[in-house]
Structure 1
Amino acid sequence: MALNFHQLHIFYTVAEKGSFSAAAQALHMTQPAVTMQVQSLEDYFGTKLLQRSTKRIDLTEAGRALMPYAKSSIDLIRDTDQAMSAFTKQLKGRLQLGSSLTIGEYILPRLLGPFGQEYPHITISMKVMNTAQIMEEILNHQLNFGLIEAPVNHPDMHMEAVMSDELMLVVPKDHPLAGKSSVTIDEAMRYAFVLREQGSGTRLVMEEQLKKKKIDPASMNVVMELGSTGAVKSAVEAGLGISFLSSSSVKHEVALGLIKLVKISDIKFKRQFYSIYLKSALLPISAVTFLTFLRERDLQQWL
């Protein structure tokens, strides 16, 4: 019997999850199949790798020694997929991903066209939802990966920055600030704001940057909180207040002269967009190719 990557991947997942049943769920396998593959690996090395008990699974000394090599093999496969994705032009298949609101509605639609021209045989199915929903569907193996607007911490998730963005001050076309090329944050804070709801990625980035400037977000005159970027844009256009939004999300309205973008001279609302997926999962080559596309291309040419 030859040593194979599949068995190392299964062993590593069992050790990470702490049980055969959890590993089986993560790997889309039956528990007996997972157990059999680990036993085959133990037979190959001629030693026990896991100590089994009714409550938990512990690594033996041999298992602890094997763990870094198993992880290295998984990382190597991922790196290999990423390196070769640039040369794989005839990919076929369906890519399922989740995307948070701003990315899904205003960023990705402009990128899927160029990606589709380069990889015409990959079909992308995208769900637009909040970060919590994306994480839940990834954990339940309903999505390959997600793209989100703010970092998250989860022991089973791998997270990586793949795109950058900047929030800009957005004002009605006839607002007192509309004729200015730039203003200070103190000048902007004198006016009424229409903002995204608490907990949204856009709101979190704005509040974090204000706090860094020793400005309490609670001191803002927030006249309205809305659950979508589209609703905020409509409210600003109607003159109900000003806001901070991604410049990519208001490109159309600015071009039509419905609203104005104003630079803040003394603060930058820059942020990263992140990909998230299960640490135990090996992404399909179509997903690796799409993430490589986001990382390595000059996306601003399309945004």
Structure 2
Amino acid sequence: MFNAVFFKTFITLVETGSFTQTAGKLGMTQPGVSQHVRKLEEYFSLSLLARTGKRFELTEAGRQVYDYALRLFAEHEQFRHALEQELVEGGECRCSSIETFGVLFYPFALGYLKNHPRLRLHMTFSNNQQAIDGVLSRQVDLALVSSIQKHPELSCELYLQESLAVIVPADFQGNSFQDLLSLGFISHQEGQEQARKLLAANFPGEFRGLHQLTRRSEVNQVHLALDAVARGLGFSILPRSVWEASPWQQQTREWYLEEETLWPVYRVRRRQEQLAERYHHLLDEYLHWRQGTSSRNLDS
């Protein structure tokens, strides 16, 4: 019977030259070491050791089996290393994301692909429910969403939190909640929920609900919402990081509020299946990049 453990015992025995040392090194008994050698001899139907009392020498077959065992373990280590690299640098990542997160994540991932030529990325922008449905139907392996998912088949954990910001036209001079409302609201895929959360936190006595907002425009792509703000058509509420990365910073500005409001992003996968290492590596690298970007923005 072929057993890699027997080969490992035999290698150790040859290198130590001692049954006693081999047993101690491998946490075995001396009879256990002898049994492994005997199993190899039975497997090959050849004597591997020429014993003289407590001493031994390798037979010609023993030398060849020793050389073969070394090659076997060397190839095993090479394969293990290659497999680890492939899990990180090769294969496909299938993700679905809310647009307010993906609009920054996807350009970063494209740069990441340039440095990992064996990696492939399939990514769709979806609302929360569509992203979750994609995981449940196995169309994607990972969903990045903004709401906690309680489902027996899903694992959900907080990935990061974004700071929300009110973005107004650069020439807006208002300083009250009513002045802001007079602008009109530019909504996007998650604009209403983000507006509800931020306005409720900062104007608890004045904000009574989304019915107070006059929607001048609504679009499912957040960068186009900023285009509308830049044209003076209204204000929008979105993650600050999205605005900071947009080409409309010169035509818009942040309307500062005292109460910071955070918008969560959760990573969701099937509970019974672990994500391949390449997913973890990509997500970790994105967090590292974001932290560096935030630090540079604070310093500037």
Whether TM-score is above 0.5 comes out as yes
**Length-normalised TM-score, structure 1:** 0.59
Corresponding position of 1:191: 182
Contact 1:96–1:145 (8 Å) recurs in 2: yes
Structure 2 Cα separation of the partners of residues 235 and 156 of structure 1: 40
SS at match of 1:191: helix
Contact 1:192–1:221 (8 Å) recurs in 2: no
Alignment of 1:1-303 (within 5 A): 88=85, 91-104=89-102, 106-113=103-110, 115-116=112-113, 119-177=116-174, 186=177, 189-196=180-187, 200-213=189-202, 214=204, 215-218=207-210, 220-228=212-220, 229-250=222-243, 251-255=245-249, 257-264=250-257, 266-295=258-287, 297-302=288-293
| Structure 2 residue runs without a partner (length 5+) | 1-80, 295-300
What's the CA shift for 1:193? 2.9
* 1:230–1:91 Cα change, 3 Å: closer
| Structure 1 residue runs without a partner (length 5+) | 1-83, 178-182
SS at match of 2:100: helix
Corresponding position of 2:23: none
SS at match of 1:94: strand
What's the CA shift for 1:165? 1.2
After TM superposition, the runs of 4+ consecutive aligned structure 1 residues lying more than 6 A away are none
Contact 2:98–2:125 (8 Å) recurs in 1: yes
Contact 2:226–2:248 (8 Å) recurs in 1: no
* 1:158–1:193 Cα change, 3 Å: farther
Higher RCO structure (Cα 8 Å, ≥6 apart): 1
Q: Deviations over 1:139-196 (max 9, x none)?
A: 111101111233333332211121221121111122224xxxxx56x36544333242
Contact 1:191–1:242 (8 Å) recurs in 2: no
Q: Deviations over 1:220-277 (max 9, x none)?
A: 332335132133222212212112122232333344x12222221x222212211111
* 1:97–1:301 Cα change, 3 Å: same
Structure 2 Cα separation of the partners of residues 171 and 159 of structure 1: 34
What's the CA shift for 1:117? 5.3
Identity %: 15
CA RMSD of aligned residues (A): 2.8
Structure with more of its chain in helix, by fraction: 2
Contact 1:195–1:203 (8 Å) recurs in 2: no
Structure 2 Cα separation of the partners of residues 188 and 240 of structure 1: 14
**Length-normalised TM-score, structure 2:** 0.59
Structure 2 Cα separation of the partners of residues 101 and 248 of structure 1: 13
Structure 1 Cα separation of the partners of residues 115 and 158 of structure 2: 23
Contact 2:239–2:263 (8 Å) recurs in 1: no
Structure 2 Cα separation of the partners of residues 118 and 94 of structure 1: 15
